[in-house]
Structure formats: structure tokens, C-alpha cells
Chain A
Amino acid sequence: MNRAGTGWFDGTVIVLLMLAVWQALYAYAGAVALTPPWTTAVYAVDLMGSPNFWGHLRATLSAFAWSVLIAGVLGIAMGLWLGAFRFAGDVAEPMLAALYTIPKVTLYPVILLLFGLGPSAKIAFGVIHGMVPVVLFTLGAVKNIRPVLLRSARVMRLSPMQTARFVLVPAVLPEITSGLRIGFSLCLLGVLIGEMFASQRGIGFLIINGINSHNVKLTTAVTLIVVVFAVAANSALLVVDRRLHRVG
């Protein structure tokens, strides 16, 4: 078998293994813990058909979209600024890295106090999760542009617009894409955590509601939907990411 062939084969084996582990967990822990794969998949499809679920999904997706947008724009702007001014960048980088490693969930009450209960708190919480990697990657990309590229742009007498279009953007794009991919996942995490705590709408609320009312079927199905969505979106971004890195 060729390499692509073994890849598909191994991938299938991994998926089957995970399904087997899931089924085994069900056999061990029983219906109080989770529902088996097939039942869950059927219920998840059912759920996708119900208008009530779409209301929650829409709430989550719109908060998520806003937080990705804000984290992306602010993150790239801040990263470009910090990257352009060496000193500011050197001062800020470890502080941002520290921000990345603290348990941000402890800040959620402050966000709730500042933004009130509602979508804006979720969005803000998503933004503080997702923005840091975008800033750090953008900063790194700008800082590490090879000086020879800028010198060639000068030698060729490119205008500032042309320099940006043909030199700067292609040079930093791959790194920024990596940052956006990680930021994307973290925004989702932030929004979901926000919904799990003090919220009445959204996917996170459905999960926590399922936990509190011992609705195992609902929790397992929603978890499955979240995992499938997260993995699918991440894989798609990963493909883009890797292609850009190869070309660049």
C-alpha cells in the first residue's frame, strides 16, 4: 500500500479505536455517565432538527463570530504595532505570555460585573482568550521578517503600498494564520465557558443544564456536536495554515 493509502487505513483504525473506547466506557459506567456512540449520533441528528436547539446554536455562533472578529482585528493591530516598535515588543512579550498561562476563568466574574449578564460578557471573555495568541504570533512574525527582504524592496524602489502588498503581507501571513487558528479555538473555549457560567442561552448553557438535570442524553449529544465542530473547523484551518507555510 502507498503512503496515502496507509494514512487512510491508520486514520480509520484510530477512529474505530476511539468508538470502541467510547462503547467500552458505556459498558463500564452505564447510562448514568454517557450514551453509546450510535444512540448519541442519532439523538444529535434529531437535536439538529429542533428549532429550540437552533436558537441556542445561533446565540453561541453569533457570540463566537464576534469574538473571533474582535480578537483577530485587535490582535493583529496590536501585534503589528508591538512588532514595529522593538522596545515596546520586548517589554510586552513576556507580559502577554504570562497572560496566556494564567487561569483566565477567574477573571470571568469581573467581566460579568463590567459587561453585565448577556452576550457582550461572553464575547469579551472569548476575546481575552483568543486575542493573546494572535498578538504573540503577529508580533513574532513582524519581528522576524528577514532584513534582506526589506532591503530588496528598497533596492527595487517599491512604494510603501507596494512594499506592504508584495513583501510585508506575504512574509507575515503564514505566522498570523497560525495565530488566528489557535485564537479561533480559544475564542470558542472562552465563549463556551462564559455560557456555562451565569448564562441562559447557548451551547455551553445546554451542556451545563444537561449536567444539572442529569440529562445524560442531551449532554453527550451536545458534547459530540461541539467536539465534531471544533475538530472539523480546526482541521480546515490547519490545511490552510500548512499550505501557507509551505508556499511561504
Chain B
Amino acid sequence: MSRQGKIVWARWSVSLGLAGLLEAACRLGFVPKLQVIPPSEMIAAMVELLQTEEVLDNVVQTFSTVGLAFGSAVVCGFVLGAIFHGLPRVRRAIDPLLASYYSVPIFVFYPLLVALFGLNSMPLIAIGFLAAVPAMLIATLLGLDRVPPVLRRVARMHRLGWGRTAALVILPAALPNLFQGVKLSLAYAFIGVIAGEFILSPGGLGYSIAFAYESFENRTMYGLMLFVLLSAVLVNALLSSWESRLLRRRGRG
């Protein structure tokens, strides 16, 4: 087996082994059922829940909120990053803000957002947006920093216009950082929206999990939890594999 193969194999066996251990601990009664239910039951609960209309509505609601927050954050983060990159003095001034941004728990602004936008899904979209936008902005700045000056000169030599320089030279050169930004933005938007729903909002998957906890419905809680965690891991894995394919092709080209 190749080394990479062994690594993947080890990864799967560690994950499945831990799940198996938990299963055994639950079945043998080391872990009380009131605390954790066996993984096999979590999966069963998840499958059952995903067939009910109520849960599906919540899934659609949460995912569309995340999607809107993520999409707008990527666009705004990229545009702002490109603008700030062109204005070094502004960039220097906002640098300390960016460096400290993620040390502030963003959802403390939720009540303010509710007062601004009203009690609908806008405050949640805003939370996801606020959580995601700096990641994209920072990644754009770093990506543009790392475009080798020689490439810009080559573009000038070929007398490329502004638009074609951006599309053919600068964007491809900044791609690895931009992709990293997109990945982080998605993760942060997801975390922000779910956390907002969990603590404050009256709807969506996060809320359903909190509600199930408070009404002692462990099966529902673990089923939904597993679904949320699996979706996050799955989306992240898909983006990562796409990323490595892109980078490989870039390395060859």
C-alpha cells in the first residue's frame, strides 16, 4: 500500500474505531442512555428525521440562510479586499481591526441586528455574513500580495488590458489563497448561522437541536446533530478535494 493509502486507511479506522468504542460503551451501559445514545441509533434517528417535512423545512431554511450569507460574504470580501489592496494607507489603518476581529464573539450583536432588520431571517444572514466576510477579505489581500511582480510585468509586456490582466494573470496567481478564503468563509458562515439559531433565533436546525435538548428528546437531538456535523464535514471534504485538484492542475500547467 502507498503511504497515502495507509494514511487514509488509518484515518478511517480511527474514526470507525472511536464510533465502535462509543457504540460498545453505550450498549454495555458504561455510558447512560440519558447522556449519549449509541451511534447506530443516531444514524437511524437521522434517517427517520430527514423524512419528516418539519425537519426538511428546517434544513432548507438553515441552508438557504447559510448560502445567502456565504455568497454575499465571498463577493463583498473579495471586492473589499481588492479595493483595500489598492489603498495601502487604508489597509494599514484597518490592519489591527482585522487582526482582532475574530476575537470578538460576533453574535453578541444579534439583538442590534434584530432591531435593525426586524424579526426575520435577515439578522441571521447578517451574523453569517459578518462571521465570514473578514476571512474572504484577508485571504484576498494575502492572495494579491503573493502575485509575483514578474507576472504583472509579463502582462504589461503583452499589452493586456486591465480586465484581461485580472482574469488571465492576477486571479489565477492568487487562486490558492482565494480558494482558502472561500473555504473558511463557508465554514464561518455555517458556524455563525447555526450558533445564532441555537442561542437566539426561533427556527432552523440550530434551534431544533436546542429545543430537543431542552425537551429531553435525545434521539431527535443526536439525529439532528449528526446531520449538521456530517454536512459540515462533507462539504468541507468536497471543497478540499476540488481545491487539491485545481492546485495539481496549476502545478502542472
Contact = CB atoms under 8 A, between A and B. Distances in A.
Contacts of B191: 101-105
Contacts of A95: 11, 14-15
A110 interface: yes
Contacts of A34: 112, 115
A33 B225 contact: no
Contacts of B114: 33
A193 B92 contact: no
B7 A103 contact: no
Nearest to A33: B115
Interface residues of B, number: 56
Contact of A197 (B14, B94, B210): B210
Given A110-B36, A113-B36, A230-B100, A211 B200 contact: yes
A14 interface: yes
Contacts of B105: 188-189, 192-193, 226, 230
A207 interface: yes
B34 to A, nearest CB: 7
A107 interface: yes
Interface string A90-111: 1100110010111111111110
A106 B198 contact: yes
Contacts of A33: 111-112, 114-116
A19 interface: no
**Majority-rule SS of B interface residues:** helix
A227 B14 CA distance: 40
A149 interface: no
A11 interface: yes
B96 A235 contact: yes
B221 to A, nearest CB: 6
A172 B12 CA distance: 30
Contact of B111 (A110, A189, A219, A230): A219
A138 B54 CA distance: 44
Interface string B132-176: 000000000000000000000000000000000000000000000
Best-surrounded residue of A95, A114, A231, A233 (most CB of chain B within 10 A): A231
Contact of A29 (B99, B112, B194, B198): B112
Interface size class of A (residues with CB under 8 A): 35 or more
Given A193-B199, A235-B96, A188 B103 contact: yes
B124 interface: no
A23 interface: no
Interface string B169-195: 000000000000001100100110011
Interface string A206-228: 01101100001001000100110
Interface string A14-39: 10000000000100111011100000
10 contacts: A103-B228, A105-B195, A106-B198, A109-B221, A182-B102, A188-B103, A193-B105, A196-B199, A197-B199, A210-B111
Interface of B: 6-7, 10-11, 14-15, 34-36, 89-90, 92-94, 96-97, 99-100, 102-105, 107-112, 114-116, 183-184, 187, 190-191, 194-195, 198-200, 206, 209-210, 212-213, 221, 224-225, 228-229, 232-233, 236-237, 240
Given A87-B10, A184-B103, 15 more contacts: A34-B115, A103-B191, A105-B195, A106-B194, A106-B206, A106-B228, A107-B229, A185-B103, A188-B105, A193-B107, A196-B199, A211-B111, A231-B100, A234-B100, A238-B99
